[in-house]
Each structure stands twice: as C-alpha cells, then as structure tokens.
Chain A
Amino acid sequence: ETGVTQTPRHLVMGMTNKKSLKCEQHLGHNAMYWYKQSAKKPLELMFVYSLEERVENNSVPSRFSPECPNSSHLFLHLHTLQPEDSALYLCASSQDSSSGNTIYFGEGSWLTVV
C-alpha cells in the first residue's frame, strides 16, 4: 500500500458536473497538499493544509474547493470546471508544513473536462 492514496485515478466530467477527488495518507503526517500538473507546465501548488486548517490558498479559482476533515484525509470538490482545468491533480503530504520537510506525492487523479 502506498503512503498517499488518491481516488479516482481517472475522471471525465462535463462542465456542469460536480465531482470530488479524494486523498488519504497513511504516513502519520500533519500537512497535506493539492498540486496541479498540466501538460508542458511545472507542477504548481494549489492548497496547503496543516492540522486540518488551510494554511494557504495559492490564488486558485473558487470552482476548486478543498476540504480536510482530519489530518489523514483531503478532498478537492470540483464544480463548473473549464476544459483548461484538465490536468493531473496530485495530492501530497509531509510531516508538517514548515520548510525543510520532504513532501511525498500520491499517484494522482487524471481529470478530463469535456
């Protein structure tokens, strides 16, 4: 079992749909993250949570809504997305959100918006 598990691995949704991505970490970490990886672009940070509280929202559109009910689970709720939001969404975790900690990634959820 990998340390960070994401579901679903693949998702196709219409622009008017509402869906959610789920992430669970089994590493006993206190910080969790959402990153976005688009074609031909570097990974970019979307959200940071530390001990279930959002630390940073990296200027992400409101059509992406994160939720962290406890330190092991993280969700990304999606609604009214655009085709340009199609990307690989990566969940990650670290011991805590302070600098210097190694961040471990899940396998990602491939999202296609049609």
Chain B
Amino acid sequence: EDQVTQSPEALRLQEGESSSLNCSYTVSGLRGLFWYRQDPGKGPEFLFTLYSAGEEKEKERLKATLTKKESFLHITAPKPEDSATYLCAVQVLYSGNTGKLIFGQGTTLQVKP
C-alpha cells in the first residue's frame, strides 16, 4: 500500500535555529514528490517538486532533497514567518496516465522570535 509518513508531527524552533523535516514514503511508482506550505485556514501553497533521487531545490531559507526512500526539507536560519504546516505528497499513477497525490499528515512548525 502506498504510504507517506512525515516527522516530526510538530517542531518548535528559535529564530535562527536550523533544522530539517522528514518525509519517508513507500510507493509502487514515484512520479514526483511535492512539498507544500499551509497556513492556518488556507489552502496548501506549492513550494517544490522533486522527480528523481539526488535532486535538490532551493527557495530562500528552504532546501528540499530527495533519496529513493525519503525527502528532507531543510530550513536554514528560520524566521517567525516560516511558521506553518509543511505538507509532503508523492504522486503515483492512479489510472491510465492520471496522477494522484498521496499526502502525509504534515509537520507543524513554530518559529519563536
């Protein structure tokens, strides 16, 4: 069964304290791994797509990496405005060539000033 697990469930950091969020997955055929940011009461905001092991992408203080079994979202010197829930999703083939996103539970990050 396709499965996505994110850890930790919640993370509290001091401003400037770097850390990493983990997304481990077990799927029959990975078509892409996506990271989203979700603020309370809002829809998920797209951050990154990774397609193959070894791939890395960066955006401001965020860097996403991918291996064959997991992805990491590294947050360097976070600021309070980085506080949000970070969602990981893997895309698999659903039917024919239709893709389907399977989401993890998310990691809720709180950055204190």
Binding site for B on A (CB under 8 A): 4, 6, 40-45, 48, 50, 55-56, 90, 97-108, 110
Contacts and interface: CB of A to CB of B under 8 A. Distances in A.
Given A48-B98, A99-B93, A99-B97, A42 B43 contact: no
B91 A99 contact: yes
A82 B36 CA distance: 29
Contact of B98 (A97, A106, A107, A110): A97
B50 to A, nearest CB: 11
Given A99-B91, A100-B51, A107 B42 contact: yes
A98 B43 contact: no
Nearest to A101: B99
Given A42-B106, A104-B46, A98 B98 contact: yes
Contacts of B32: 99-100
Question: Which size bracket describes the interface of B in this complex?
Answer: 20 to 34
Contacts of B36: 105
29 contacts: A4-B43, A40-B105, A42-B4, A42-B102, A42-B103, A42-B104, A42-B106, A48-B94, A55-B96, A55-B98, A56-B94, A56-B95, A56-B98, A56-B100, A97-B98, A98-B97, A99-B31, A99-B92, A99-B97, A99-B99, A100-B32, A100-B51, A101-B99, A102-B34, A103-B101, A105-B43, A106-B43, A107-B43, A110-B41
A45 B46 contact: no
Contacts of A6: 43
A107 B39 CA distance: 10
